[in-house]
Structure 1
Amino acid sequence: MKTIYHPAASRGYANHGWLSTHHSFSFARYYNPERMQFGALRVLNDDEVAGGRGFGSHPHDNMEIVSIPLEGDLEHQDSMGNTTVIREGDVQVMSAGTGVVHSEKNRNPDRPVKFLQIWVFPRERNVEPRYDQETLDTGAEDGRWHPVVTPEPQPGAVWMHQDAWFSIGRFAAGTTTEYTLNRSGNGVYLFVLEGSATVNGQTLNRRDALGVTEADGFTVDAGTQGARILAIEVPME
């Protein structure tokens, strides 16, 4: 097993007034040649958008884009004709494929919206653009890894054009849980949403991350306050 530790404080940071954002990988004006991607995982942004503000219309292509709201309401509009709102407990995917234009806005004028924006390289280019969202069964993540993004359609999750699995687990203090990879050769990028945990001797606190490669599985030990963790499993080649 090989691991790479990314403490929360090592992330890139930008404050644009209306947007406060942390970048796990090089993005916009943050550039770190050692933090370009983790396999097919290209972007993991931890965003907070002020009330009533947002990202104006902008284009994407050939990228699988996942949004996971953590607090508040995020309004999405795109050139495919979708106008939707995603909230805490939802997950959204957009396959940009041959090209799509979209915007994202905080639906509420009086409180921020917080969400993770995650980009994954697709397994094939120039697919037909598509959009989907799902309300998750958050109770299903208690004490186990609950899939929220998969390579093929399945109930309770969204899917993307990549051999990737996103799972969220909520683990009680002092418990031990195994993670078994879904595909040989993949790696897993663990991102601690809340609490703390230890993996392969490395303690991870809130918003810390650990990339795990060259392993078929590993053990996660939840800390004294428990842990809620996002596991992003992606091809490394």
Structure 2
Amino acid sequence: MSHDISPLPPVRAEDLLPLLGSRICHDLISPLGAISNGLELLQMSGMAPGPEIELIGQSVASANARVKFYRLAFGAGSSQRIGAREVAALLEEISLGSRLKLVWQGEGDVIRSELKLGFLALQCLETALPWGGEAALSHEARRWTVTGSAARMKIDTDLWALIDDDREVPLDIALTAAHVHFGLLVLEARRQNRCLVHEVAMAEPPPAAAPGRDGTQARAPGATPAGDSRIIIRF
């Protein structure tokens, strides 16, 4: 008896990576939930609250928020719609205890695949703002803007050069695990037929006055501290 075995459709790496991300995040949620439930049981049993329990609780909450964020950024995208309140609450949770404040400025529900691009772009801004600042995510009529602002920025020109719509991303590009979101952002934008545009505006230092009698550099009359630098990604 012969069996007609049809060949499997070709599987591309770019299709497997999001599924792998979803699987890992899904498997991590359960043990994190168990730890959170265990803390609640300890508190209900009469255990006195202390700094140790508080630290564990904060760490679990932070890990839960990060896993949810990574599931949307690295997991499989879809046409599923996600509520604006859910997005805003998630970014607020991630910002707790962090030097970088993530802000949601959009209105209405968003498509999951588009939010995936937005979250990848936010991670690129996190790389550029290691000393803290603010990163805002907004959208209007399916056009997205991700804006980062801070007094100090760290711009790796080789990484940011990837985010040019007319640039080819070589398969052997030297990306580290800490910067993989740059490559994923470009590949996902192309998959969605989106045009990536970015711009950097570095703040200029205020004019300095002539050195004082003691040799120190005084601020010029009427001068104010330099404004924040900004980096913007649009798609």
What TM-score bracket applies, with the shorter chain setting the length? under 0.3
Task: Looking at secondary structure, tell me which structure has more strand per residue.
Answer: 1
Highest CA radius of gyration, 1 or 2? 2
- Normalised by the size of structure 1, how large is the TM-score? 0.24
Task: Looking at secondary structure, tell me which structure has more helix per residue.
Answer: 2
Higher relative contact order (CA closer than 8 Å, sequence separation 6+): 1
